[in-house]
């Protein structure tokens, strides 16, 4: 079988076209990945202590906005709706810990910008808050958050890094922390 020059040119053009299509698809996939990474939030939460008192801080160490979808604070089957419930639970006999000395920032259903730090609560040092700081480690937390592209993660006090979620769990309003 003899191939003429037109057939060879047509076959070469077909091969080049298939290669160009493959490269374009790969390039688009890489660009989508870069887009996701360019708006990736990375939340971290933890207790902080200083000479003035202690509290819980949340930091967005990523490069994108973090939309807070859900916060749960609990011990076992007991879920709390605010910090005063946590304090009443841990410090049954406390009379001096109240909103008079408690600084609280609501975070549920909020947005954290890249680099933003939020103190969810802060208490000054007193004899009772020193005792509370020793007991606060019994309390667990879970925060669900998403990027602007609806990629979602969970942070909690059992893992030192965000856990990717396939989809957000159904929110049970009775277990939400506000």
What confidence tens digit (pLDDT) does each residue in 109-164 have?
Answer: 899 999 999 999 999 999 999 999 999 999 999 999 999 888 999 999 988 799 99
Residue 55 and residue 121 in contact, taking contact as beta carbons nearer than 8 Å: yes
Helix axis angle for 83-90 and 127-135, nearest 10°, is 90
CA 159 – CA 153 distance, rounded (Å): 12
Nearest to 82 by CA among 56, 45, 49: 56
What was the pLDDT predicted at 96? 84
What does the pLDDT average to over 41-63?
94
pLDDT, averaged across the chain:
91
Residue 177's CB: how many other CB atoms inside 10 A? 22
State pTM to two decimals.
0.78
What are the helix (H) ranges across the chain? 5-38, 83-90, 127-135
């Amino acid at each position: 079988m003899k191939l003429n020059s037109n057939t060879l040119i047509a076959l070469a053009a077909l091969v080049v076209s298939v290669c160009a299509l493959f490269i374009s698809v790969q390039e688009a996939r890489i660009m989508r990945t870069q887009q996701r990474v360019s708006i990736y939030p990375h939340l971290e939460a933890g207790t902080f202590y200083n000479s003035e008192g202690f509290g819980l801080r949340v930091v967005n160490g990523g490069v994108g906005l973090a939309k807070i979808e859900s916060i749960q604070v609990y011990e076992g089957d007991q879920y709390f709706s605010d910090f005063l419930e946590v304090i009443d639970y841990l410090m049954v006999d406390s009379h001096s810990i109240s909103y008079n000395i408690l600084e609280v920032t609501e975070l549920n259903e909020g947005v954290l910008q890249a680099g933003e730090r939020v103190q969810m609560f802060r208490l000054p040092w007193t004899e009772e808050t020193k005792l509370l700081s020793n007991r606060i480690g019994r309390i667990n937390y879970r925060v669900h958050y998403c990027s602007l592209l609806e990629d979602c993660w969970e942070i909690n006090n059992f893992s030192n890094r965000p856990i990717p979620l396939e989809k957000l769990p159904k929110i049970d309003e009775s277990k939400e922390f506000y």
